């Protein structure tokens, strides 16, 4: 009654009239409703939004936008609207003065509307001040106002045309003006304003268009279209990406989280601990020092129980407010989801009711479409918020971990390995990203289930419970299967890890495998592991088939049980179209949350584990920055002062340095010496503040530079490594490089000091790394220098140079304070002071002379050391294998950094010490330049193959062939069967619902139910069948592809391994094979499933309303176009994202390894900034890829919504011919089609990105192969070679077609049993000769003949089994010692023990617990280098062939072992031909002949004595070695 009194003075006009509004051909609202409710709706909306929006704008200020014409127009229109509204009001007052009394609303509505218009105008200006470029709130307000006004406008026009009633002319005019102004406002609102002044976007080269886009563009993600078009035209590159939005960058996000965490962490620290610490300080460390320590620990523990820092709370605080928006969106979406089935119900009723006016059908159709569209927009806004939150979470977590890693103590570092911390960044951060999209399901899934059940109950009554029971039964079954799958996955991962480990070793030791012809033995080992892996895969395939079966059949079983119970309970229960199809639609909705819940729960469990790991890591102890006082240099006392200091590595460890007292005067040079493990390095760490100071007082004045014992090199250019973030100073830089003896090295490197150094410095030798590390310290020009034994890694000659030029009294640093830890006794006399350490205390200190006089421990140490040094120096100083030459670069480097260095010529990096070094460098640099340039170009193409453009159809065909064509077509046939059965069962249901009802019951209930059930069961069988077939087929394919890949890689020539980074190969064996194993089959299933689902839905719609044939093909084309458009861009974005991801991890790895250096140089800020940049670089590619997904989904769902629209529309148009069953069928199918379409695109792009794995695995099948392993026809006799005579006839060799010859016309005949030494300068072609003998490289010209057989004519294995080599780098494989000696199990144990005895290993091996079964670690790490060399000797003794090649086999062993090996070879291989490539000339002085090679030619040949007489090259080399 209340509202009606507003509408007319006497309340005579009704507020609502059904006859006027609903039961009529021409609906309209009553005047009263129009003038009150319709006018007030927009006002209520705006006033409700105003307080929230106003606060939001106050907090989010984006800067100030200048007045533009657009803004002026909007404001002016707002004011005119207010004037128009109030013109009505004043007109009403005027009428009153004329005594015309109108209804109250003529006063109320204009007043309210006018004030609202003023508010709108205010908001337009306020938004401009706060920098909002396009406003959603206002756009929606104008839209609602316009919609309400349209209804009134139509009504007014009808009223004016129909009756001859008098028209209120003034009000009509004002209303028309109002309507037109609203329309203009709405149009203006669709255009964005210009960006605010002083905003980031102005200085940004590529700003993200998101914020300058209009509201409409933002909700439909239209703003990314530009990038999509670009990506469609050509593959995107990193430079095409936009910058990140300011609120997504690391520098915005990370500090927020760090602050909140610090606050939270401080709370835990507020326990009463402080008192304890103070009591601890007063006690001097005496006997009860340890007791307090205990007490302290005891008191800390209970107090920590009551409050643990909650990381969840912190994350919620940081990201919660933004994330909360997603709650609202999700709730709105869930409610809208149920409008579909409800409108379907009304539609079916409408088709049933032949008298209903037509417009109602169109109204329902429109409503269905609008709801579907709203649902789409809301859902994707929700997803967008979730993904952006996920992205920010990851950024924040990575940033916080990085910052923490720079400050944690060493003891904390021990508890978290580098791998674990990197995992925190990659795996755990990823878990949070995944969780962000799921977490709302925790409340949303139950909400959906409850709503669906409520609606179902209304529809079918209690028989719903049957269906629900089936669903609930399926949940535990699914859960059990998930658990099982997990255990299988673990087992599979385990065999996969073993396989990859083995593959890694095979690839690292491939040269040895080839030399020994062991490929087949190792192939068997890999296949054995692979067999286990496939067994587990098969089991999980059966499980997957079961899972697919339950997942596909669940909706059907549920429907079947429900309908069966419903019709059986009561004869009068009639299954009509409305009940059946509305229930089906609801069951389809139910299926999703029930299946999601287990996933969400497991995802939450995983995330909580990650949360705990993160919390533990972030709660680690941090270094106390104040333990060492770093003051700038002023006071005269000295530049390092340590008083009564005691240090330990962590709080609860016993102290490792006790009561240290010393003062270092400014500018002095101090040596720290002592036995191994006496605390020399710890002392330096203590001065750097890396240790925990228990007591005492330490001052270090001024800046510090530090050279660690293990050089730390960054993956950057050589120059960047030295400059290390300081500004460039040319002259200083030159001086430093000169002093650190880096010039000759820089000459060798392919691009000088701009050469990129690989990870961990793989392409530098140990000595070069150490010198780079030294140069970095020298360049930074600090006040105090701490050197931790930098001279140990370089050879004696270079060491001397560095000491003189850098560290010593005449070096660059002569005015700085230097502390040098050293083992080299010969430099000690030049020191100002020497500290002698033993067991963590300083036992003596003083100058060299003083200490000698005291005749204490130091003098003793000197006597023992000096003698050894003297003798060592004589043998070492001149031989090129000084200390630095140890890992004689040859094999090692080629294995480690194939991309960077060429074969052999590089050994000169270690031979800087030769006088002739200079000229030789010049020649070899030229040689180096060529191959390197090519190598790089080659390497780039290597990395990028199979990366761009669409995947070719042949790849799919290859995969089908790998599965087997019969199986492929069988699976397609079973798919067809399944979908035909599914369509048939639903069609049958529609026929059933159309059965006429006689006397309240349907006739053939039982038949209908029986057939329905039978069709369902056949569908189930087909599902199970195709699931099994696809899974088994997948296993066939992966077995076949892996076998091929393995075989082809093992058959590749050596050159292939040298130019292919081993990472690439391992990646093929791990990542790509894993994809083929476990990712492709399920994707194929889902892809086929969704394809057939979409086709099925279209068929049903066509059956119901054939006229839809006009509309489906064009929609299909739009769909295909959008999809192709998207795939091109998204594929490239995915690649950019993964390419930019690895630098984040490798930089992090590097930082962890060099954290003490970074802290010493105080470069933390720069490294944090670098890390932030790398993370942002990665997110820059990730952000567009999320948006591209949303863009696609919105477009596709609109295609789907159009199908819904047309299905419903045609049903309404042809309703007289249609049965309600068919309408229900076609509309319920069309409601699902959006989900299917989404799925289809997701799956097709997934399939395309993953099938690339097949392509990449096949890629290596087409590579060049080496010669056949064995050739039946030409196989030599089993006793060959009988005398061991080797002839080289005009032999020449080159490494690649386009390179010069490395060996040229070599003519040498070696008689059986001769012992030949091969010598020559580095790079003369010594090793190339052996490579030729083993046919690792085929001859370029000439031939090698052994005992009358040309070796090029026989199989490789036939050749390699008959010659034995003891290689230069002794490589062992992980496995038993026995396997390493005899992988083919050809020899008896006695033979093996005999060979061990001759190799002087018998005592060592029999002392091992497992004897011959002793497990060697990867690369033989658990044996010393010398022992490994002896194992290689034992291998040679076992094979006992006529020809033995020694490749610098003794370079890595000490003199004693060397003599052992030489004597064994002399006695055991007396009648064999022995070729030795020698570095230490004394080993070959008693050989029959010596070949001297130079630049690939034989220059001298004869017995050692005769060559010495000739005074040629050999004589000079002997002179260098001190043999003459």
State whether residue 1190 is helix, strand or coil: helix
Q: Which of 282, 491, 319, 464 is nearest to 396 (CA)?
A: 319
Residue 198 has pLDDT above 80, yes or no: no
Q: What does the alpha-carbon distance between residue 276 and residue 1437 come to, in Å, rounded to a whole number?
A: 68
Residue 1062 has pLDDT above 60, yes or no: yes
- Give the pLDDT confidence score for residue 927 in this predicted structure: 34
- pLDDT tens track for 416-458: 767 777 777 877 888 888 888 888 888 898 899 889 889 988 8
Which comes out higher in pLDDT, residue 1038 or 282?
A: 1038
Mean pLDDT, residues 982-998: 84
CA angle 446, 449, 454 (to 5 degrees): 125
Which token pair is 609?
């584990």
Mean pLDDT, residues 868-897: 37
- Give the pLDDT confidence score for residue 1278 in this predicted structure: 77
Q: How many CB atoms lie within 10 A of CB 1?
A: 6
Exposure b/e, 1377-1410, CB count within 10 A at least 16 = b: bbbbbbbeeeeeeeebbbbbebbbbeebbeeeee
Exposure b/e, 430-439, CB count within 10 A at least 16 = b: bbbbebbbbb
State whether residue 353 is helix, strand or coil: coil
- Give the pLDDT confidence score for residue 1418 in this predicted structure: 67
By residue count, the chain amounts to: 1524
- Give the pLDDT confidence score for residue 77 in this predicted structure: 93
Banded model confidence at residue 73, pLDDT cuts 50, 70, 90: very high
Q: What does the alpha-carbon distance between residue 954 and residue 400 come to, in Å, rounded to a whole number?
A: 47
Residue 594 has pLDDT above 80, yes or no: no
Banded model confidence at residue 149, pLDDT cuts 50, 70, 90: very high
Residue 1456 has pLDDT above 90, yes or no: no
Which comes out higher in pLDDT, residue 980 or 161?
A: 980
Banded model confidence at residue 486, pLDDT cuts 50, 70, 90: confident
State whether residue 838 is helix, strand or coil: strand
Beta bridge partners of 705: 785
State whether residue 13 is helix, strand or coil: coil
Banded model confidence at residue 1257, pLDDT cuts 50, 70, 90: confident
Q: What does the alpha-carbon distance between residue 252 and residue 246 come to, in Å, rounded to a whole number?
A: 7
Is residue 1359 within 8 Å of residue 1309, measured between CB atoms? no
- For the entire predicted model, the pTM comes to 0.77
- Give the pLDDT confidence score for residue 148 in this predicted structure: 92
- Give the pLDDT confidence score for residue 301 in this predicted structure: 43
Residue 904 has pLDDT above 50, yes or no: no
Query: In what helix (H) or strand (E) does residue 1239 lie, and over which residues does it extend?
Result: helix 1220-1259
Alpha helices, DSSP H only, in 1154-1163?
1155-1160
- pLDDT tens track for 785-797: 998 888 776 766 7
Mean pLDDT, residues 598-605: 80
Residue 870 has pLDDT above 50, yes or no: no
* CB burial of residue 1362 (10 Å; 0-12, 13-18, 19+): buried
- Give the pLDDT confidence score for residue 160 in this predicted structure: 82
- Under DSSP, the state recorded for 886 is S
- Residue 1247 neighbours by CB under 8 Å, 6+ apart: 1080, 1083, 1084, 1087
- Give the pLDDT confidence score for residue 887 in this predicted structure: 34
Banded model confidence at residue 202, pLDDT cuts 50, 70, 90: low
- Give the pLDDT confidence score for residue 115 in this predicted structure: 92
- Residue 435 neighbours by CB under 8 Å, 6+ apart: 390, 603, 604, 606, 607
Mean pLDDT, residues 384-406: 91
- pLDDT tens track for 235-253: 888 888 888 888 888 888 9
Dihedral (C-alpha) 1520, 1521, 1522, 1524: value to the nearest 10 degrees?
-80
- Give the pLDDT confidence score for residue 1451 in this predicted structure: 54
Which token pair is 793?
């890694």
Banded model confidence at residue 1457, pLDDT cuts 50, 70, 90: low
- Whole-number average pLDDT of the chain: 80
Banded model confidence at residue 1454, pLDDT cuts 50, 70, 90: low
- Give the pLDDT confidence score for residue 926 in this predicted structure: 33
Mean pLDDT, residues 1231-1243: 81
Is residue 1442 within 8 Å of residue 1470, measured between CB atoms? no
Mean pLDDT, residues 1444-1469: 72
Residue 299 has pLDDT above 80, yes or no: no
Residue 909 has pLDDT above 60, yes or no: no
- Give the pLDDT confidence score for residue 1452 in this predicted structure: 54
Which comes out higher in pLDDT, residue 1296 or 372?
A: 372
Q: Which of 104-108, 194-198, 785-789 has the lowest mean pLDDT?
A: 194-198
Q: What does the alpha-carbon distance between residue 1405 and residue 1423 come to, in Å, rounded to a whole number?
A: 11
- pLDDT tens track for 689-738: 888 888 888 888 888 899 888 888 888 888 888 888 888 888 888 888 88
- pLDDT tens track for 1149-1185: 888 888 888 988 888 899 999 999 999 998 998 999 8
> Which residue, chain included where needed, has tokens 């990659």?
426
Mean pLDDT, residues 44-57: 91
State whether residue 1277 is helix, strand or coil: coil
Which token pair is 400?
């916080």
What does residue 349 show for φ and ψ, rounded to 5 degrees?
Answer: -60, -40
- Give the pLDDT confidence score for residue 292 in this predicted structure: 36
Q: Which of 384, 377, 373, 383 is nearest to 339 (CA)?
A: 373
Which token pair is 364?
């329902």
Q: What does the alpha-carbon distance between residue 70 and residue 1129 come to, in Å, rounded to a whole number?
A: 35
Which range has the top average pLDDT, 11-25, 852-866, 1095-1109?
A: 1095-1109
Q: Which of 1316, 1317, 1309, 1315 is nearest to 1347 (CA)?
A: 1309
């Amino acid at each position: 009654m209340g509202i009606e009194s507003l509408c007319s003075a006497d309340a005579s006009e009704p507020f609502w009239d059904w006859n006027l509004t609903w039961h009529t051909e021409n609906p309209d609202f009553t005047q009263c409703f129009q003038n009150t409710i319709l006018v007030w709706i927009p006002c209520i909306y705006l006033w409700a939004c105003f307080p929230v929006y106003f606060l939001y704008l106050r907090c989010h200020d984006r800067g100030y936008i200048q007045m533009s014409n657009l803004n002026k127009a909007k404001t002016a229109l707002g004011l005119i609207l207010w004037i128009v509204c109030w013109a009505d009001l004043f007109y009403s007052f005027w009428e009153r003065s004329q005594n015309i009394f109108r209804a109250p609303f003529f006063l109320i509505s204009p007043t309210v509307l006018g004030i609202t218009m003023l508010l709108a105008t205010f908001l337009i200006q306020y938004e401009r001040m706060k920098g909002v470029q396009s406003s959603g709130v206002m756009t929606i307000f104008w839209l609602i106002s316009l919609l309400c006004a349209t209804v009134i406008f139509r009504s007014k026009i009808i009223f004016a045309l129909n009756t001859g009633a008098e028209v209120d002319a003034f009000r009509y005019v004002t209303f028309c003006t109002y309507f037109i102004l609203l329309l203009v406002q709405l149009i203006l609102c669709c255009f964005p304003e210009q960006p605010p002044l002083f905003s980031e976007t102005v200085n940004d080269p590529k700003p993200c268009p998101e914020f300058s886009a209009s509201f409409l563009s933002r909700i439909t993600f239209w703003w990314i279209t530009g990038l999509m078009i670009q990506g469609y035209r050509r593959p995107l590159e990193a430079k095409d990406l936009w910058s990140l939005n300011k609120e997504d960058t690391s520098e915005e996000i990370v500090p927020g989280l760090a602050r909140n965490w610090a606050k939270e962490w401080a709370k835990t620290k507020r326990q009463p601990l402080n008192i304890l610490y103070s009591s601890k300080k007063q006690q001097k460390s005496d006997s009860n020092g340890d007791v307090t320590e205990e007490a302290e620990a005891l008191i800390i523990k209970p107090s920590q129980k009551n409050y643990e820092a909650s990381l969840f709370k912190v994350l919620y605080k940081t990201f919660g407010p933004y994330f909360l928006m997603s709650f609202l969106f999700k709730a709105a979406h869930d409610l809208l989801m149920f409008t579909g089935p409800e409108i379907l119900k009304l539609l079916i009723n409408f088709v049933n009711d032949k008298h209903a006016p037509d417009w109602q059908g169109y109204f329902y159709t429109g409503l269905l479409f609008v709801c579907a569209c709203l649902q789409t927009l809301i859902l994707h806004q929700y997803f967008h918020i979730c993904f952006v939150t996920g992205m920010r979470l990851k950024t924040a977590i990575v940033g916080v971990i990085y910052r923490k890693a720079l400050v944690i103590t060493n003891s904390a570092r021990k508890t978290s390995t580098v791998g674990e911390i990197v995992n925190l960044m990659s795996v755990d951060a990823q878990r949070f990203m995944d969780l962000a999209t799921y977490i709302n399901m925790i409340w949303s899934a139950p909400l959906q289930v409850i709503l669906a059940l409520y609606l179902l109950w209304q529809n079918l009554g209690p028989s719903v419970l049957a269906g629900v029971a089936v669903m609930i039964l399926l949940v535990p079954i699914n859960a059990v299967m998930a658990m099982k799958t997990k255990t299988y996955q673990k087992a599979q991962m385990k065999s996969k890890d073993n396989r990859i480990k083995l593959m890694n070793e095979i690839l690292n030791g491939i040269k040895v495998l080839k030399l020994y012809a062991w490929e087949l033995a190792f192939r068997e080992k890999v296949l054995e592991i692979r067999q286990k892996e496939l067994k587990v895969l098969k089991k999980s395939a059966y499980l997957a088939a079961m899972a697919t079966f339950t997942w596909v059949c669940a909706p059907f079983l549920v429907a079947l049980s429900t309908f069966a119970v419903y019709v059986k309970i009561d004869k009068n229960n009639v299954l009509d179209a409305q009940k059946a199809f509305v229930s089906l639609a609801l069951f389809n909705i139910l299926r999703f949350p029930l299946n999601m819940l287990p996933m969400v729960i497991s995802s939450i469990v995983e995330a909580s584990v990650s949360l705990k790991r993160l919390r533990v890591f972030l709660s680690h102890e941090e270094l106390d920055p104040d333990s060492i006082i770093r003051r700038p240099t002023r006071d005269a006392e000295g530049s390092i002062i340590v008083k009564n200091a005691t240090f330990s590595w962590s709080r609860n460890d016993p102290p490792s340095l006790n009561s240290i007292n010393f003062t270092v005067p400014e500018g002095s040079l101090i040596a720290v010496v002592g036995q191994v493990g006496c605390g020399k390095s710890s002392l330096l760490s203590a001065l750097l503040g890396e240790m925990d100071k228990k007591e005492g007082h330490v001052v270090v004045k001024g800046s510090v530079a530090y050279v660690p014992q293990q050089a730390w090199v960054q993956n950057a250019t050589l120059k960047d490594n030295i400059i290390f973030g300081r500004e460039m100073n040319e002259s200083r830089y030159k001086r430093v490089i000169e002093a650190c003896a880096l010039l000759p090295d820089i000459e060798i490197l392919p691009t000088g000091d701009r050469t990129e150094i690989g990870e961990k410095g793989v392409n530098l030798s140990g000595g070069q790394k150490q010198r780079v590390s030294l140069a970095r310290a020298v360049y930074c020009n600090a006040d105090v220098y701490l050197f931790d034994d930098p001279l140990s890694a370089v050879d004696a000659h270079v060491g001397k140079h560095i000491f003189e030029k850098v560290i010593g009294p005449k070096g660059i640093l002569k005015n700085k304070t230097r502390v040098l830890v050293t083992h080299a006794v010969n430099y000690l006399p030049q020191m100002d002071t020497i500290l002698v350490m033993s067991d963590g205390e300083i036992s003596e200190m003083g100058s060299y002379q003083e200490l000698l006089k005291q005749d204490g421990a130091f003098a003793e140490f000197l006597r023992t050391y000096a003698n050894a040094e003297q003798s060592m120096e004589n043998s070492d100083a001149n031989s090129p294998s000084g200390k630095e030459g140890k890992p004689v670069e040859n094999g090692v480097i080629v294995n480690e950094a194939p991309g960077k260095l060429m074969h052999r010529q590089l050994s000169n990096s270690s031979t800087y010490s030769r006088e002739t070094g200079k000229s030789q460098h010049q020649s070899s640099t030229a040689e180096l330049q060529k191959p390197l340039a090519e190598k790089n170009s080659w390497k780039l193409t290597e990395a990028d193959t199979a990366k761009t453009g669409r995947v070719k159809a042949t790849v799919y065909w290859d995969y089908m062939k790998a599965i087997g064509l019969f199986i492929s077509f069988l699976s397609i046939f079973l798919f067809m069967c399944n979908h035909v059965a599914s369509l048939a069962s639903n069609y049958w249901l529609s026929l059933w619902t159309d059965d006429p009802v006689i006397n309240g019951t349907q006739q053939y209930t039982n038949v209908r139910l029986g057939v329905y059930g039978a069709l369902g069961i056949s569908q189930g069988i087909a599902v199970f069948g195709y699931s099994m077939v696809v899974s088994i087929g997948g296993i066939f394919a992966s077995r076949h592809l892996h076998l091929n890949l393995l075989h082809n890689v093992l058959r590749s020539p050596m050159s292939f391994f040298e130019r292919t980074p081993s990472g690439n190969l391992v990646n093929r064996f791990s990542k790509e094979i894993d994809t083929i194993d476990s990712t492709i089959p399920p994707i194929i299933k889902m892809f086929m499933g969704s394809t057939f689902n979409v086709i099925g839905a279209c068929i049903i719609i066509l059956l119901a309303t054939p006229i839809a044939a006009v509309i489906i093909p064009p929609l299909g084309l739009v769909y295909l176009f959008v999809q192709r458009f998207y795939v091109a861009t998204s594929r490239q974005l995915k690649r950019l994202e993964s390419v930019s991801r690895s630098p984040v991890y490798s930089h992090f790895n590097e930082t962890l390894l060099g954290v003490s250096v970074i802290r010493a140089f105080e470069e933390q800020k720069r490294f944090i900034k670098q890390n932030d940049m790398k993370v942002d670089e990665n997110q820059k590619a990730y952000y567009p890829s999320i948006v591209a997904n949303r863009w696609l989904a919105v477009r596709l769902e609109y295609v789907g919504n159009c199908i819904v629209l047309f299905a419903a529309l045609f049903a309404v148009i042809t309703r007289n011919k249609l049965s309600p069953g068919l309408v229900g069928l076609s509309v319920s199918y069309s409601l699902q089609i959006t989900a299917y379409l989404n799925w289809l695109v997701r799956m097709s792009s997934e399939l395309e990105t993953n099938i690339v794995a097949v392509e990449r695995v096949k890629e290596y099948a087409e590579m060049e192969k080496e010669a056949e392993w064995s050739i039946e026809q030409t196989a030599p006799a089993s006793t060959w070679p009988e005398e061991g005579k080797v002839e080289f006839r005009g032999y020449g060799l080159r490494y690649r077609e386009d390179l010069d010859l490395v060996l040229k016309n070599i003519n040498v005949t070696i008689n059986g049993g001769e012992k030949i030494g091969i010598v020559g300068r580095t790079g003369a072609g010594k090793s190339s000769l052996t490579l030729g003998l083993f046919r690792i490289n085929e001859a370029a010209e000439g031939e090698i003949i052994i005992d009358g057989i040309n070796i090029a004519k026989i199989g490789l294995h036939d050749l390699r089994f008959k010659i034995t080599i003891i290689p230069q780098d002794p490589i062992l494989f992980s496995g038993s010692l026995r396997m390493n000696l005899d992988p083919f199990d050809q020899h008896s144990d006695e033979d093996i023990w005999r060979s061990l005895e001759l190799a002087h290993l018998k005592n060592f091996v029999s002392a091992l617990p497992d004897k011959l079964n002793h497990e060697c670690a990867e690369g033989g790490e658990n044996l010393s280098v010398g022992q490994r060399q002896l194992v290689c000797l034992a291998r040679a003794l076992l094979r006992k062939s006529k020809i033995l090649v020694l490749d610098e086999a003794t370079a890595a062993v000490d003199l004693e072992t060397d003599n052992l090996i030489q004597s064994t070879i002399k006695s055991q291989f007396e009648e064999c031909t022995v070729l030795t490539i020698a570095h230490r000339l004394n080993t070959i002085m008693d050989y029959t002949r010596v070949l001297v090679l130079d630049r690939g030619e034989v220059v001298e040949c004869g017995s050692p004595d005769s060559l010495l007489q000739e005074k040629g090259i050999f004589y000079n080399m002997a002179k260098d070695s001190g043999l003459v």
